[in-house]
Amino acid sequence: MFRFAITPLILGILTTGGLIAVTGCTPTTSYSRKDPALAIHVKPSSSKCVVGETVTFFSRTENTLGRNAKIEWSTTGGTLKTEDENRVARVMFDKPGTYSVDGVLMADGREIDRSTNIVTVTPLP
């Protein structure tokens, strides 16, 4: 009798655990820590160029899975075009000077993180 009383209990535990593993569900109450910080990192193809050249900016985000996140770009000069669902930006600089290019991570309608890159544009030799 003792063996039969424990068997349904073990079967119930194994079945519940099996359902969680099969469906990929995890109880939300089991996590007590805060969500990790969302972040954006932008790396330019170059920080120096001459007038007429294009610099490409590559973005990498962290911890955006499951959130309504997007990247917005801005520059203080040049002509900006984006590709790959705004993950890559290309800026063609038409005048000498020092410019900044910002990659901004937006989530749920607000700015979460910003990555600023400085590009120095020199005149044609």
Q: What are 14-45's pLDDT values in tens digits?
A: 444 444 444 343 333 222 223 458 899 999 99
Question: Could you count the other beta carbons within 10 Å of the beta carbon of residue 102?
Answer: 17
Q: Provide CB contacts within 8 A for 109, sequence distance 6+.
A: 68
Tell me: the pLDDT tens digits for 49-84? 999 999 999 999 999 888 889 999 999 999 999 999
Which pTM was predicted?
0.69
pLDDT band, residue 121 (cuts 50/70/90): very high
Note the pLDDT of residue 44.
97
Note the pLDDT of residue 19.
41
Q: Is the pLDDT of residue 9 over 80?
A: no
Q: Is the pLDDT of residue 91 over 80?
A: yes
Q: How far apart are CA 32 and CA 30, in angstroms?
A: 6
Question: Could you count the other beta carbons within 10 Å of the beta carbon of residue 2?
Answer: 6
Q: How far apart are CA 52 and CA 15, in angstroms?
A: 65
Overall average pLDDT of the 87-91 stretch: 98
Note the pLDDT of residue 46.
97
